[in-house]
Amino acid sequence: MTSRSFKVAVCGATGAVGREMLAVLEDRGFPVSELVLLASERSEGTKLEFRGEEHTVRKLTAGAFRGCQIGLFSPGASVSREYAPHAAQAGCVVVDNSSAFRLDPDVPLVVPEVNPGAVAGHKKKGIIANPNCSTIQMAVALKPLHDAAGLKRVVVSTYQSVSGAGQKGIAELEEQTVAILNQRDFTPRKFPHRIAFNLLPGGWPPSPNGYNEEEMKMINETRKIMGLPGLALTATCVRVPVFVAHSEAVNVTLEKKLSADEAREILRKAPGIKVVDAPQDHVWPMPMLAAGDDAVLVGRIREDLSQEAGLDFFVVADNLRKGAATNAVQIAEILAREHL
């Protein structure tokens, strides 16, 4: 990739995304010369393994980024808002997973399969934003269809795993499942209602327009990443009792008709996508196939019978990997290769 190696800070290292970040850096052989692991005071002294060696987590401070060239951030929006500028000031380019900077016009919002050139925009503030997990996987699938036939409208419904809500989301599904199977009582903490053996069509902060924050992220971020500010897009986001990987039923209206076979061929050749589509053999994209994979799985590809130039398809990806850590490390790879 490059003969140089880099001092990398992972901020939010003990979280669901941060831990996956270490795994992805290792899996992809990112050239790390030194690793700085940062989290809150609560985790100070915690040991995490990287390439077979234990590394100690330190408390995040404004001075923690001295000498670092790349900062992979996932400590949540308010912490990113406060500390990413300190990192940038110290010459450490930040790739931030939170929503803090995504819609800032001076911060690029990047999915490497869609708009890799936008990485150059890091020069303005020293920060690059990683999009929302549900947005990333949908954008990867929409881009090749848009290039081939022009997108007019997108309708998406999501089935989002509990790890999208971090370590506390994972713990809540685990605890409730065990409690229910053992006929014990419990009180929901992370989600507003029981998530085990249930679905939640909400739980994200509501917007005044009737959508919620997650749905508005999908709308606004997709428009920015694809450079289509006027794209018609509507979303309904649902939390489901799955530990890892988000699923999405997507319906698109195109400028030009594509047959299901044509769409399948276009998607098969597109970067970052695995077409998993043989319904007669029960071969579909499913969370259990996507968890641990870096690819976006697309299947159930069919022509929409209700319109002239429309398609339906199902998109599944690991929200902690392509939806967060893998996308961030891919951005770091572009930085390392072309910008640092």
DSSP, collapsed to helix, strand or coil, labels residue 331 as helix
Q: Measure the CA–CA gap between 131 and 109, rounded to whole angstroms.
A: 6
Q: In what order do the strands lie in the sheet with 310-317?
A: 232-236, 151-159, 246-254, 310-317, 296-303, 273-275
Q: Between 60 and 226, whose beta carbon lies closer to ligand NAP?
A: 60
Out of 274, 323, 326, 334, the only residue in the binding site for ligand NAP (CB under 6 A) is: 323
Q: Are the beta carbons of 43 and 67 closer than 8 angstroms?
A: no
Q: Measure the CA–CA gap between 276 and 284, rounded to whole angstroms.
A: 6
Instruction: Name the minimum Å distance from CB 323 to ligand NAP.
Output: 5
Q: Between 144 and 323, whose beta carbon lies closer to ligand NAP?
A: 323
Q: Between 223 and 321, whose beta carbon lies closer to ligand NAP?
A: 321
Helix, strand, coil distribution of the chain in percent, nearest 5:
35, 25, 40
What binding mask, one character per residue, do residues 150-179 give for ligand NAP by CB under 6 A, x or -? Answer: -------------xx-xxx-----------
Q: Between 172 and 277, whose beta carbon lies closer to ligand NAP?
A: 172
Tokens 């490059």 belong to: 2
Instruction: Answer yes or no: 11 catalytic.
Output: no
The H or E element spanning position 3 is none
Instruction: Answer yes or no: 133 catalytic.
Output: yes
Instruction: Name the minimum Å distance from CB 70 to ligand NAP.
Output: 17
Alpha-helical regions (H) of 40-165: 77-89, 122-125, 133-149
Instruction: Name the minimum Å distance from CB 303 to ligand NAP.
Output: 32
Out of 98, 158, 212, 326, the only residue in the binding site for ligand NAP (CB under 6 A) is: 98
Out of 23, 28, 76, 262, the only residue in the binding site for ligand NAP (CB under 6 A) is: 76
Out of 9, 12, 215, 223, the only residue in the binding site for ligand NAP (CB under 6 A) is: 12
Residue 87 found at the interface with ligand NAP (CB under 6 A):
no
Out of 26, 40, 265, 304, the only residue in the binding site for ligand NAP (CB under 6 A) is: 40
Q: Are the beta carbons of 209 and 219 closer than 8 angstroms?
A: no
Residue 118 found at the interface with ligand NAP (CB under 6 A):
no
User: What 8-state DSSP symbol labels residue 76?
Assistant: -
Of 13-21, 101-109, 200-208, 256-264, which segment contacts ligand NAP by CB under 6 A?
13-21
Q: Between 246 and 264, whose beta carbon lies closer to ligand NAP?
A: 246
Instruction: Name the minimum Å distance from CB 175 to ligand NAP.
Output: 15
Residue 135 found at the interface with ligand NAP (CB under 6 A):
no
Residue 15 found at the interface with ligand NAP (CB under 6 A):
yes
> Token pair of 142, please?
């929409």
Q: Measure the CA–CA gap between 4 and 9, rounded to whole angstroms.
A: 16
Q: Are the beta carbons of 266 and 150 closer than 8 angstroms?
A: no
Residue 17 found at the interface with ligand NAP (CB under 6 A):
yes
User: What 8-state DSSP symbol labels residue 132?
Assistant: P
The H or E element spanning position 1 is none
Residue 219 CB contacts under 8 Å (≥ 6 apart), including other chains: 211, 233, 234, 235
Q: What residues line the site for ligand NAP (CB under 6 A)?
A: 12-18, 39-40, 42-43, 60, 74-77, 79, 97-98, 133, 163-164, 166-168, 319-320, 323-324
Hey, which residues are catalytic here? Answer: 133, 246
